[in-house]
Structure 1
Amino acid sequence: MDRRQLADFLRSRRERIAPADVGLPSGPRRRTPGLRREEVAQLAFISTEYYTRLEQARAPRPSREVLAQLARALRLSDAERDHLHHLAGTPPGPPPGPSREVRRSIVDLLHRLPHAAAIVISATFEIIAWNDLAAALMEDFSALPRRDRNLVRRAFLGPHRDGRRLYGVSDVTEFARHSAQRLRAAAARYPDDPELTGLVRELLAGSEEFARLWAAHDVTAAPTLRKTFDHPVVGPVTVDCDVLDIADRDQRVVIYTATPGSPSEEALRLLSVVGTQRLDVPG
């Protein structure tokens, strides 16, 4: 355990996080950049005294549980989490849960695709980034609570708005099977993630279809190359589906494009203008 390097690393990570980033007020008398020590301790569910000793290079070796809590509190990337473990003299285990941090370059890529609807999904099928056309084609994700942005939960448990299951996609049965298979593989990669195990428990309790698929223990899923969205404003929109894997984050970029010159391309162009407005709603 390199106490001095560990102390310096913790201090540097603490000072880069603004209070607003973790839902804390900035306050008029804040004299330190970033978070205070007691705020990190509170977020990590450890005592302020122990965290202070860590930053003073006087604490005993932290446990794996404490390191995991510090990594979450300080919003460490996977590489930073591994570095924290090495400094503490405890080799890192598997990541505690799927990454939800999307690289800035990937977010920029989504917005450089004005004629394509594009989303980024995590290993648990949570939509964690999107462009404007994807919101117009599917839903205004910014207006949804985080739990409702999970496509597996939406597919099996709803809500099914306007009687349409998962935006009225033509391959909803195949998607359900595909997502259950990929979720089972993710559960094996992240066995200690309480959010993932809670999602699986919720799906098993609420959907007989999911329970049947889960019991099959399948983990191989065929890619979907083409699907049709039943949009409430512009009608059917048939798109090609291309998926780019972001291996280091265990994420995928899904890009929906229409055949040039097709009615679906015209529909996407209309949606790019309409955005998330509902022209079928009076007033």
Structure 2
Amino acid sequence: MNRQETAAFLRSRRARVQPADVGLQAGTRRRTPGLRREEVARLAGMSVDYYIRLEQGRGPRPSRQILSALARALRLSDDERSHLFNLAGEQLGPPPGPPQEVPAGILHLLERLDDTPAYVLDAKYDVLAWNDMAAALIVDFSKIPSGERNLVRAFFLYPAACPIEDEDEYGKFAQQSVADLRAASGRYPHDPGIKALVGELKDKSEPFRRLWDRHQIEVRRGSTKRMRHPVVGGLEVFCDVLVVPDRDQKVVLYTAAPGTPSHEALKLLRVIGTQDLTPR
């Protein structure tokens, strides 16, 4: 273990993380940027004295559990997490599961996209964040229990609710999403959430089971989709996927060519929002 390099790395990363990044109030008495040592210790679930000794390069060799806790507390990227393990002389195993924390910059982006439906997915297709336009176009995710906000699960268990209209596009999304989920299961082989999701879908959906057994691997990218909305009708939209690499997350955005009926439909959707205007 390189104690001095590990200590310097921890100090530099602590200075980079802002209180708001981890849900803490900044207060008015901070003289230096970043988190305090006691805040990192609390977030990582260890004693303040132990963390101080690590930062001073005189602590014992940290365990894998301690290193993982520090990586979470300091919001390390995958590359930074790997570097920390290497400095501590530990072999880095597979990450425990898909990261759930959406970077603050991505959340701000969703807020600013007030005319573009957008949401954030983790590696197993859990919806982590969304904007008002996504709620208006697809579904108001706030009304769905957090444990059930999974697009693959909804797609295969509730196919009638899927807004994709074209049969070929429907089949293509089914194939791509299952192949993408299988790739995620390889990156996170011990994640109980992915295991539970795959087990449930194999048990309840014959189409999913058939696609899963193909063992195809594919990362989902952008495409054009034809969708039907109960109020504004049919839309043809570009579905672009932006990758957040250090979180293994995707930002999915829906746009339409200016001047087209679909573009006008999205503008109307921005006005009516999630109001229930369907006929009674």
| TM-score interval for Structure 1 and Structure 2 normalised by the shorter chain | 0.7 to 0.9
Q: Which sits farther off after the overlay, 216-225 or 258-267?
A: 216-225
> Does the residue aligned with 1:265 lie in a helix, a strand or coil?
helix
The verdict on how the C-alpha distance between 1:272 and 1:40 changes in structure 2, with shifts beyond 3 A counting, is same
Could you say which residue in structure 1 is the equivalent of 2:29? Answer: none
Letter in 2 for 1:225: S
Q: Gaps spanning 5+ residues in structure 2: where? A: 27-33
What residue number does 2:60 align with? 60
Aligned partners of 1:239 and 1:264 also within 8 Å: yes
Distance in 1 (CA, whole Å) between partners of 2:150 and 2:214 is 22
SS in 1 for 2:62: coil
Identify the residue that residue 30 of structure 2 maps to in structure 1.
none
What letter matches 1:256 in structure 2? Y
Question: Percent same amino acid at aligned positions?
Answer: 53
**One-letter code aligned to 1:201:** G
Deviation at 1:136, TM superposition (A): 1.2
1:84 aligns with: 84
Matches within 5 A, 1:221-240: 225-240=223-238
Q: Note if 1:139 corresponds to 2:135.
A: no
Q: For the structure 1 residues 193 and 53, does the alpha-carbon distance in structure 2 shift closer, same or farther, using more than 3 Å as the test?
A: farther
Give the superposition deviation at 1:218: 1.2
Match of 1:250 among 242, 248, 251: 248
Instruction: Write the letter of the residue equivalent to 1:273.
Output: V
The more displaced of 78-87 and 175-184 is: 78-87
Q: 2:152 is matched with which residue?
A: 152
- When the two structures are superposed, what TM-score results if normalisation uses the length of structure 1? 0.73
Number of aligned residue pairs: give it. Answer: 276
User: Which moves more between the two structures, 250-259 or 105-114?
Assistant: 105-114
Alpha-carbon offset, residue 273 of structure 1: 0.8
C-alpha distance in 2 between matches for 1:70 and 1:230: 46
CA distance in structure 2 between the aligned counterparts of 1:42 and 1:238, rounded to whole angstroms: 49
Aligned-partner Cα distance in 2 for 1:89–1:65: 13
Residues in 1 aligned to 2:217 and 2:196: alpha-carbon distance in whole angstroms? 19
- Does the 8 Å contact 1:119/1:127 carry over to 2? yes
Question: What root-mean-square deviation, in Å, do the aligned CA atoms of Structure 1 and Structure 2 show?
Answer: 4.1
Query: Which residue pairs with 2:125 in the alignment?
Result: 125
Deviation at 1:180, TM superposition (A): 0.6
Q: Could you tell me how far 1:47 is from its partner in structure 2? A: 7.4
TM-aligned CA deviation for residue 250 of structure 1? 3.3
